[in-house]
Copies of this chain bind each other. A is one copy, B any other.
Amino acid sequence: MSAPTSASAVDGSDHNPLGLSVELGLDRPIRLDCGVEMPSVNVAYQTYGRLNADKSNAILICHALTGDHYVADPHPLTGKPGWWIDLVGPGKLLDTDRYFLICSNVLGGCMGTTGPKDINPATGQPWGQGFPVITIGDMVQVQARLLDHLGIDQLFCAIGGSMGGMQVLEWCASYPDRVFSAVPIATAARHSAQNIAFHEVGRQAIIADPDWKNGEYLLHDTRPQRGLAVARMAAHITYLSETALHRKFGRNLQGDRDAFSYGFGADFQVESYLRHQGSTFVDRFDANSYLYITRAMDYFDLAAEHDGVLANAFRGTKTRFCVASFSSDWLFPTPESRAVVHALNAVAANVSFVEIQSDKGHDAFLLDEPEFHATLGGFIEGAARHRGLPARVGGS
């Protein structure tokens, strides 16, 4: 699912729908927050559009927990359209005619970037639980190496929702000079106790599956599909608002039923929907990756990394921020975004904040939300003007 990097790939002229790939760290090992040094890391990524002459039009898209770099291409395993196809394309909000878009699969992922299902060169066997526990900071470090490789000093914009938003915040804290503008969406500067709790339920569901085999399931030719499906089901509830669940399903029975079955089949549409979410997820995601990436989110606490004061993470920042939350998002509720905004205000950062009225819950950032898109469009247009990028009329 990956093709070798080429000069033409970097300038975007030969966009490969299957994605690109590069081995990083060969010159300088990647030192992780846990203390482990990775001698090299393979990074799968995708680019859209063309990098301009002064390399000032690059936008890094950071994906969420179960996302990947197939932002605007069909997913190679599921065939489904890219997860942000609504936003990314010629003439769209993230305009591939004007910007050079980059998205890489995160460290620890399972879509081409080195993760627990890959071969540990030291043993010749899959990493499994031998893979080092990673952090959001580690993911961002690898992305920074990718930018080095692509010869990009500064991003015009870093943008992402949920865990993607955590990466955006980490970028702004760790590489402030490399981010001209930043859009953290439906996210938080730290994972809450409730969110850690939900993640822990998912992890325990996987670990409880005998097919997990202490994480060495690939060696045993098994996969903890039942546990992973339960983990996905639990998580999926948190991505939707109660209102959205009620509107979509209510207490409706499945189409072929006009009365209760008085059994444990999926009587209700919402049950059938959740089961479907669980069973399709296991076809595209690795259980160990799920463990590692949820752990990275749980560990994320930007204030703790800066003497307990979130504002310290942004002191001296010149980045222009647009922080967005959704009113019905109970996984990353608006107060989490407000805490980020307050910290940015405390250091007199350039920040705009909007709480989008939506009843779609956390997943709203992936959906067609006109007010959100209008806000985002206005911010990016303004940032482009300040960056000296050509205006929309006339093209790039």
Contacts and interface: CB of A to CB of B under 8 A. Distances in A.
A295 interface: yes
A34 B299 CA distance: 48
Contact of A251 (B34, B35, B226, B301): B301
A298 B230 CA distance: 19
Nearest to A333: B242
A318 interface: no
Contacts of A262: 33-35, 132-133
Nearest to A215: B264
Contact of A194 (B198, B200, B237, B333): B237
13 contacts: A133-B260, A133-B264, A192-B251, A193-B242, A197-B233, A198-B237, A201-B237, A204-B229, A205-B205, A208-B226, A208-B230, A242-B330, A264-B291
A129 B207 CA distance: 26
Contacts of A191: 251
Contact of A268 (B201, B230, B250, B298): B298
Interface stretch (A50-58, A63-71, A170-178, A269-277): A269-277
A367 B264 CA distance: 33
A306 to B, nearest CB: 15
Contacts of A205: 205, 208, 230
Q: How many identical subunits does the complex contain? A: 2
Interface in A174-217: 190-194, 196-198, 200-201, 203-205, 207-210
B201 A233 contact: yes
A247 B133 CA distance: 27
Given A208-B227, A210-B210, A330-B330, 7 more contacts: A33-B262, A132-B262, A133-B264, A196-B271, A197-B245, A204-B229, A230-B230
Given A192-B246, A251-B191, A264 B197 contact: no
A379 interface: no
Contacts of A301: 251
Interface of A: 33-35, 129, 132-133, 190-194, 196-198, 200-201, 203-205, 207-210, 226-227, 229-230, 233-234, 237, 242, 245-246, 248-251, 260, 262-264, 266-268, 270-271, 274-275, 278, 291, 295, 298-299, 301, 304, 330, 333
A318 B139 CA distance: 64
A197 B274 contact: yes
A264 B295 contact: yes
Nearest to A270: B193
